[in-house]
Amino acid sequence: MSDDKAVTIIGGGLAGCEAAWKLGKAGIAVRLFEMRPSSMTPAHKTGLLAELVCSNSLKSDSLDNASGVLKAEMEALDSIVMKAARASRVPAGGALAVDRERFGGHITDSLESLEAVKIEREEIKSIPGGVVVVASGPLTSDALAEAISNLTGAGSLAFYDAIAPIVTAESVDMSVAFRASRYGKGGDDYINCPMDRREYEGFITALIEARRTPLREFEDPRYFEGCLPVETMAERGVDTLAHGPLKPVGLTDPRTGLRPHAVVQLRQDDAAGGLYNMVGFQTRLAWPEQERVFRMIPGLERAEFARLGSVHRNSYINSPKLLSADLSLRELPRVFFAGQITGVEGYLESAASGMMAGLGVIRRLQGKAPKLPPRTTVMGALMAYVTDRSIINFQPMNANFGVLEPLSERLRKKDRKERMARRALDEIKRFRDEIETD
């Protein structure tokens, strides 16, 4: 297929890469456009495809969690993101966390090795002709956002994600901090900075009073509940953080033999173990204030910050109003959308929607009717959610058991999750077999 007949994919993030992988492996010509590194975003640092800009964690790897079930589903469907994640994994207890550069490098190399995929380092400012997958992500450029708004006639919505700081491991005072597992799962993968009540309350006061970066065009931010800035959580009540990301579940301070009032946890961010990110500390505090306030945390008094936190825009369309079940525009079926711009929230959720858009394009080009996983799977339930016409006030959604089709029988919570996970994996394998033989 010549370039003028190739499928155009806009965006080399997780969703765009999954779509390109599906199409390229099927022998369908693809032009994958990624504007980095010639045109960078406020959050990205490299030109690697699928660069992770927020946390390096892909969440739980356990099947008692919907995120873990989603991972298993994606692996059953030959996900390039999951291949890269397994190849670049770093210790993180029960979570799947990755070395960012190895992860992005694995995906970049894999796509470059596909003969059918041509990677173009160029910013796309309008929707081209032919079959197109728009996977421009939460940091869609202003020009492309305007083109999408003009195309859909509905405009783009927006909320805001915040990035957590990263500290060097050698700068953490391990005479105060200690290693232990998070929530009692896995090995001693997390560095824990314990706080007594006095230290905690002083920290909360400073956090709330600290100067923040002016929002300017972000005067009316709408944060996703799963990624609230730490200072926003603190404003909800003095004990909000102590009962949330700073909850000292199953932890004992070796210095006192007692459970701390609160614990700030640091998770390994690179394969060498030299960098650790502050779990749950996404923030929009001004950078000098971050250094001042976060050094109040016991063990981080001399912390060296390899990266400070920041806020970035996250744009998404009103998918239930605009998209068909296969993620194509109802009014212009040659154009598909994938990733966070569709309103799925999270790394794996975005990648999964890229897989579904890629499969949708393949079936379209083969002249076959759309085929999607059932709502008994996490992937199918998420795609059904973002394309459900009955939704009026659409908000982003991440993987959770609540979106899956419920079981007919009433079970205890643990048994219910186990049954739903087993059902989902059975159904995704059945779906895989059906599309391979159809």
Instruction: Assess whether pLDDT exceeds 50 at residue 2.
Output: no
Residue 247: enclosing H or E segment and its boundaries?
none
CA–CA gap between residue 398 and residue 348 (Å, rounded): 9
DSSP 127: -
Q: 306 versus 107: which is more confidently predicted?
A: 107
Residues 406-425 have a mean pLDDT of 92
CA–CA gap between residue 188 and residue 170 (Å, rounded): 17
Q: 258 versus 139: which is more confidently predicted?
A: 258
Residues 305-328 have a mean pLDDT of 87
Predicted confidence at residue 218, as pLDDT, reads 40
Question: 312: closest CA among 208, 234, 218, 231?
Answer: 218
CA–CA gap between residue 10 and residue 313 (Å, rounded): 18
Q: Out of 124-138, 176-190, 214-228, 399-413, which region has the weakest mean confidence (pLDDT)? A: 214-228
Predicted confidence at residue 356, as pLDDT, reads 98
- The H-assigned helical ranges of 113-244 are 142-152, 197-209, 230-234
Q: 28 versus 183: which is more confidently predicted?
A: 28
Instruction: Assess whether pLDDT exceeds 70 at residue 336.
Output: yes
Per-residue confidence band for 179, with pLDDT thresholds at 50, 70 and 90: very high
Residues 411-436 have a mean pLDDT of 95
Strand, helix or coil for residue 346: coil
Yes or no: say if 302 and 193 are a contact pair by the CB < 8 Å rule.
no
Q: What are phi and psi of 334, to 5 degrees?
A: -75, -10
Exposed / middle / buried, residue 237 (Cβ in 10 Å: 0-12, 13-18, 19+) = exposed
CA–CA gap between residue 289 and residue 284 (Å, rounded): 10
Residue 118: enclosing H or E segment and its boundaries?
strand 117-120
Q: Does the reported pTM lie above 0.75? A: yes
Distance of CA 259 to the CA centre of its chain: 32
Beta-carbon contacts of residue 115 (< 8 Å; ≥ 6 apart): 24
* 3-54 confidence digits (pLDDT tens): 668 999 999 999 999 999 999 999 999 999 998 877 777 667 788 999 998 7
Exposed / middle / buried, residue 306 (Cβ in 10 Å: 0-12, 13-18, 19+) = middle
Instruction: Assess whether pLDDT exceeds 80 at residue 163.
Output: no
CA–CA gap between residue 34 and residue 119 (Å, rounded): 7
CA–CA gap between residue 191 and residue 267 (Å, rounded): 7
Residues 110-136 have a mean pLDDT of 96
CA-based R_g, the chain, Å: 22
Strand, helix or coil for residue 394: coil
Mean pLDDT of the chain: 91
CA–CA gap between residue 57 and residue 103 (Å, rounded): 11
Q: Out of 33-42, 103-112, 288-297, 380-389, which region has the weakest mean confidence (pLDDT)? A: 33-42
Q: 171 versus 155: which is more confidently predicted?
A: 171
Predicted confidence at residue 3, as pLDDT, reads 64
Instruction: Assess whether pLDDT exceeds 90 at residue 158.
Output: no
CA–CA gap between residue 302 and residue 186 (Å, rounded): 28
Positive or negative: CA dihedral 303, 88, 187, 65: positive
